[in-house]
Every structure is written in C-alpha cells, then in structure tokens.
Structure 1
Amino acid sequence: MKTATVRQLRTEFPKVLAWVYAGQEVAITRRRKVVANLTPAGDPPKRKLPRIDFKARLRQLYGDKVIPAATMADILAENKGRY
C-alpha cells in the first residue's frame, strides 16, 4: 500500500490517481496518521481499442486489383494543380 500526505494529494493529484488506476490502495496521511484510504472503485478502465485491419478491408473491397504505374502517373498528371 502506498502512502500520500494531504499536501501531496493537493499538489500531485494526477500522480496519486495514477496509483489508484493501477489498482493500488493509497493511504492518505496527515501528521503521520492515516486519515483516509483511497481504493480502486472496481476494474481499472480499459483503454485498449481494437485495431482496424485496413489492409484486410481494402482486400475485401478491391480484391487483388492493382493500378499500373503508368495509369497512376496519368491520373496524378491530370489532377495536378486541381486541389
């Protein structure tokens, strides 16, 4: 269990809150006496989002179609200065 003073709680709250998010209990002290305990409310929030597989989505939409380099050069030359 980690400890933090009341003063530390006022000045470094994000640091103490990070401890709680990490699942640790924090004892709040005043004049070296424990006056409160901070405990996590439940499971820490999950921040991981699923990664999108763009390559698979493109393959699903277009299959194995590939634009030849000469055609791509023509498309780029045609649109040059347009946007």
Structure 2
Amino acid sequence: MIKVNVTQLRNNLPAYLGKVKSGEEVAVTSRGKVIARLVPEADEASEARLRLEAARKESWVGDVVSPVGEVWEVESGNP
C-alpha cells in the first residue's frame, strides 16, 4: 500500500489514480494519520469467482445420492 499526504495527492492526482487503476491501494494521510484509502473498483463477477475457488479448496462433496442407512422422519404440513 502506498501512503501519500493530502498535498502530494492533490499535486499528483492523475499519477495516483493511475496506480489505483492498476490495482494498488493508496492510503491518504493528514498529519501522519491515515484518513482515507483509495482502492480499485472490484469486479463483482471476478470477486465471486475467487470466493468460489477458495470454497472449493476447503470443501469436499461426496456421494450425495446413495442412501446412508438412516431413517428420516418428515412432518407433513397438512393437519
């Protein structure tokens, strides 16, 4: 993450926006404290794809069709 004070950001805004566009995050500081962050806009489709890929690494799907030998009781919604 790039840290930049407000004055530097104001004087070089196009350059910092270019960095954000290329995927970098910019922290804006005032008197040494971070007051804002500029982050690239997230592509929702690629974000969802990344979450699914992460879930695949942690998930396991086995045989969900074969009976397990347990009896299930189902309550009918009819009185």
TM-score normalised by structure 2 residue count: 0.51
How high is the sequence identity, in percent, across the aligned residues?
Answer: 47
Q: CA RMSD in A?
A: 1.0
Partner of 1:27: 27
Runs of 4+ in 1 over 6 A off after TM superposition: none
Aligned residue for 1:24, secondary structure, equals coil
Tell me which residue corresponds to 2:15. 15
Q: How does 1:2-81 map to 2 (within 5 A)?
A: 2-43=2-43
| Larger-Rg structure | 1
Unaligned 5+ segments in structure 2 are 44-79
Q: Give 1 or 2: higher helix fraction.
A: 1
How many Å separate the matches in 1 of 2:22 and 2:4?
15
Aligned to 1:76: none
Aligned residues: 43
Three-state SS of the structure 1 residue aligned to 2:36 is strand
How far apart, CA to CA, are the structure 2 residues paired with 1:29 and 1:35? Answer: 5
Unaligned runs of 5+ in 1: 44-83
Superposed displacement of residue 42, structure 1: 2.2
**Residue equivalent to 2:63:** none
- One-letter identity of the residue aligned with 1:20: V
Alpha-carbon separation, structure 1, partners of 2:40 and 2:2? 13
SS at match of 2:28: strand
